[in-house]
Amino acid sequence: MKKLISFTLVAALLCMLAVAAAGAVSAADKADITINGFNCPGNEGTTAILTGEKVGASLLWWQVLVFEPDTESGGYKCITKTSADGETDKTQLAIPAGGFAVGTNTGNNYPDLYENDPTKEEYKDKPNYITEANQAAYAAVAATEVGDIVYLVGIDLEKGTIDDNASDELLWYQDGYVSNAKLTFTKPSDSATDESENEPVDEGEASVVNAALGKTYTLKGLFTGEGAWPDEGGTTLTDGKGATQVGYADPAWVGLNLSGDGMDTAEGVRDKSNIVVDLGESTKIFKFAVELLDFKGEAGIALPTATEFFYSADGENWTSAGVGTPETESETACINISSLTLDAAVDARYVKAEFEHTGNWVFVSEIEAYTQTGGTDTPSTDTSSSAGTSSSAGTSSSTPVTGDAGVAALVIVAAVALAGAVVVKKAR
Ligand SMILES: [Ca+2]
């Protein structure tokens, strides 16, 4: 069984939702809770797993959720929710056997506080603990209700570890920090994203993974002038998170401009911007994708006239893999994917997406390069649905289905029934 982890359907869903009226929100639609700490009640700006018999710390300004194992779902059920009101002491909050708590706080921006009040010596020389990723996790905890079921991804409760890139030099609130650890509201397929709770993968079973996830990259055309849409910390485009807003206000977007860094701005030249990802080692890649803001030219933002994908062994000599195709056809502005699937995988240490600009701006939120691991079949994106995902899988058999996407597919079916106007091309 092959699986594709893709933002394709999520983007399609967002396009559809722009048309369809918002439906009922089930637990499965809730945003993942990204985890950036483990048993660290002294940290600011953290969303951490807490284990033990009790929470054991007052955590007055933290939201805390408590979960117990749920045998029926195979996940964990939220049994207690407490607020960050500055008064509720969580010290005695019990954690059930085999369960855990999640604590989250926003932290302080000390440089800002100190600037506003230089008499406060205690603010001096302390960092800004407020990060976008943790703010999102804080909001996701707030949206969680007692009775919700969550699943662990990249979290080992027994070892007390999470799958992130923290080190002595790189801390959870610093630029460049990436965490793959999260609580999801939909059951993950037994894919490579879940390293902790997987059943053993059968011999010969293939799984498709995004080799660009969490990797470093360089940009040509990043606009750094006034009104920039910056690339915060150089991780935005491989953090596995797509945009959620059809508009440039979403910080998930990075703005590449005809007059951005490294662009040839000579009269009559329309230089091409690009993203180059270092995959770290030679990797067999069979599919490339970028998520783009399809803004129909508004504010100078449009899909590129062409998105060409390249690969290289040394980062200097490039071979074109071909030109990507937008996966969504929409009359209205939307989040779109330009992707390219190859007949045969190529060896790539570096991959590049090069944009021929239609407007001044290309807004991009993610680049992906897919490889297939553990399988004996030839690479393909003709994925079958994984067992145990939503019943909608059967209605979209040619569509890649993951735990998330299964839900997306269900909502898309509903949205099509409601709207009936927008054509969504299925990924090939
Ligand atoms: Ca991203």
**For the residues of 179-234, what is the DSSP string, one character each?**
B--EEESSPPPSSTT--SSPPPPPTT--EEEETTTT--EEEESB--STT----GGG
DSSP string, 284-352: EEEEEEEEEEE-TTGGGB---SEEEEEEESSSSS-EEEEE-EESB--SS-EEEEEEEEEEEEEEEEEEE
Smallest CA-to-CA distance from 283 within 373, 371, 218, 366 is with 371
Q: What is the pLDDT of residues 35-66, one digit of tens each?
A: 999 988 888 999 999 998 899 889 999 999 99
The answer to whether residues 114 and 123 touch, using CB atoms and an 8 Å cutoff, is: yes
CA distances from residue 413 to 16, 86, 189, 329 in whole angstroms, order as listed: 10, 44, 21, 16
Beta strands 149-153; 361-373: pairing state: unpaired
Ligand 1 centre from 366 Cα, in Å?
4
Q: Which pLDDT belongs to residue 400? A: 37
The separation between CA 404 and the C-alpha centre of its own chain, rounded to angstroms, equals 12
Q: Report the separation in Å between the CA atom of 212 and the middle of ligand 1, taken as the mean of its atom positions.
A: 11
Average pLDDT over residues 132-147: 95
CA 69–ligand 1 middle distance (angstroms) = 32
276 C-alpha vs ligand 1 centroid, how far in Å?
A: 15
What is the rounded distance in angstroms from the CA atom of residue 167 to the CA atom of residue 177? 9
pLDDT band of 230, cuts 50, 70, 90: confident
C-alpha 68 – ligand 1 centre gap (Å) = 32
> What is the C-alpha to C-alpha distance for residues 256 and 358, in angstroms, rounded to an integer?
12
The residue ranges of every structural domain in the chain are: 8-24+210-419, 31-184
302: CA distance to ligand 1 center in Å? Answer: 18
For residue 251, the CA-to-ligand 1 centroid distance in Å is: 9
12-23 pLDDT per residue, tens: 444 444 444 434
pLDDT digits (tens, 9 = 90+) for 390-406: 333 333 333 333 333 33
Determine the pLDDT at residue 375: 55
The 10s digit of each residue's pLDDT in 189-217 is 764 444 444 444 444 556 789 999 999 99
pLDDT in tens, 328-338: 888 889 999 99
Say how far apart CA 208 and CA 292 lie, in whole Å.
Answer: 22
CA of 368 to the centre of ligand 1 (A): 10
More confident residue, 245 or 378: 245
Q: How close is the Cα of 367 to the center of ligand 1, in Å?
A: 8
253 C-alpha to ligand 1 centroid (Å): 7
Distance of CA 412 from the midpoint of ligand 1 (Å) = 22
pTM: 0.47
- CATH for the stretch 8-24+210-419: 2.60.120.260
Q: What is the DSSP string of 351-416?
A: EEEEEE-SSSEEEEEEEEEEEEES--SPP-S-PPPPTTS-GGGGGGTTS---HHHHHHHHHHHHHH
User: From the CA of 254, how far away is ligand 1's center (Å)?
Assistant: 9
User: Strand, coil or helix: what is 113?
Assistant: helix
> What single letter denotes the amino acid at residue 309?
F
Spacing, Cα 255 to ligand 1 middle (Å): 12
Tell me whether residue 247 is exposed, middle or buried, using C-beta atoms within 10 angstroms of its C-beta: 0 to 12, 13 to 18, 19 or more: middle
How many whole angstroms from 120 Cα to the centroid of ligand 1?
Answer: 37
Q: For the chain, state the CA radius of gyration.
A: 22
Torsion sign (Cα): 166, 168, 172, 175: negative
